[in-house]
């Protein structure tokens, strides 16, 4: 009988390594004490779980401002919604700081912050919802109908939280809309530029 060998995911290995590395533990302790959390990976099960745990722990300890740094290419819609729902449900206010890139689902997370900041060299990118699935046509048809409703909900979120124009939304719907910090400030995506 063959022995089953399970190879850990690279990010799981990094998480394990980081969990026992003294310098990493010290950095995390300092950030936690200063109420700073990071979203620096794609939005998926692992990054969403870690971020939600940190937010809930900080909010449980004290109702006080939490700062979330975002440098993420985006990711899965469901996990992004989970992060947003946790942010909305906290007693603590959250300020988001975009540094590096803030794309796709990460843009919605950034907009959920009470105060929204961005570093001078960062960029923001919105695009239409993407999907990848291979299934029977009948299932795909119903999923598409559901996802169409979700996309309309996300579009409304952009329109309610920003000053994006119809032309901007057209670019988001049909291409990609890339913006620098000054453009994000003009379009109401952020409240302030840092640096």
Catalytic residue numbers?
104, 127
Tokens for 41? 């990976």
Is the CB of residue 179 less than 8 Å from the CB of residue 124?
yes
Is the CB of residue 39 less than 8 Å from the CB of residue 68?
yes
Q: What is the C-alpha R_g of the chain? A: 18
Is the CB of residue 23 less than 8 Å from the CB of residue 54?
no
Tokens for 145? 């109908």
Query: How far is it, in rounded angstroms, from Cα 125 to Cα 123?
Result: 7
The separation between the first and the last C-alpha atoms of the chain, rounded to the nearest angstrom, is: 62
Report the SS3 class of residue 77: helix
179 forms beta bridges with 124
- Determine how many CB atoms are found less than 10 A away from the CB of residue 13: 11
Tokens for 78? 């469901």
């Amino acid at each position: 009988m063959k022995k089953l060998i399970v190879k850990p995911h690279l990010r799981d290995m990094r998480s394990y390594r980081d969990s026992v590395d003294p310098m990493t533990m010290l950095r995390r302790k300092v950030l936690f004490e200063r109420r700073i959390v990071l979203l620096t990976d794609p939005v998926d099960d692992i990054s969403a779980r870690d971020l939600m745990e940190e937010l809930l722990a900080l909010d449980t300890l004290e109702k006080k401002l939490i700062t979330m740094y975002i440098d993420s290419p985006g990711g899965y819609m469901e996990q992004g919604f989970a992060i947003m729902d946790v942010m909305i449900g906290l007693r603590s206010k959250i300020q988001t700081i975009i540094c590096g890139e803030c794309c796709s689902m990460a843009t919605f997370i950034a907009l959920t912050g009470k105060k929204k900041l961005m570093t001078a060299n960062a960029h923001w990118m919105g695009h239409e919802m993407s999907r990848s699935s291979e299934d029977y046509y009948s299932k795909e048809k119903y999923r598409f109908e559901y996802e169409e409703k979700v996309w309309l909900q996300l579009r409304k979120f952009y329109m309610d939280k920003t000053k994006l124009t119809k032309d901007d939304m057209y670019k988001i719907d049909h291409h990609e809309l890339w913006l620098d910090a000054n453009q994000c400030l003009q379009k109401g995506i952020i409240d302030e530029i840092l640096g």
